[in-house]
A = this chain, B = another copy of it.
Amino acid sequence: MKYDAEVKISLKKGMLNPEAATIQRALALLKYQVENTETLQIIKFSIEGDSEDIVRQKVDEMCQKLLCNPVIHNYEIGITPED
């Protein structure tokens, strides 16, 4: 069966995020006052697997090995069966 996987990657609390800081500063220059700017990345793909649990475990392995840096990133995995 095919599943849609979605990995949401964010920086851990306390990590500096220069991208977000730059966005916030640029918005301020355009007279938009915003606070607590954060950026996240989402990686989506479809993957074949026997069950949701097996797929989730596989995607977790991918996160540990390649997609995330566990030292600086938090990640959330979402798995939904494809129609």
Contacts and interface: CB of A to CB of B under 8 A. Distances in A.
Interface of A: 5, 8, 20, 23-24, 26-27, 30, 32-48, 58, 61-62, 65-67
Contacts of A5: 34
Nearest to A5: B34
**Copies per complex?**
2
Nearest to A8: B42
The A interface is mostly helix, strand or loop, or mixed, namely strand
A45 B40 contact: no
A35 to B, nearest CB: 5
Given A66-B27, A67-B23, A40 B44 contact: yes
Contacts of A48: 33
A35 B47 contact: yes
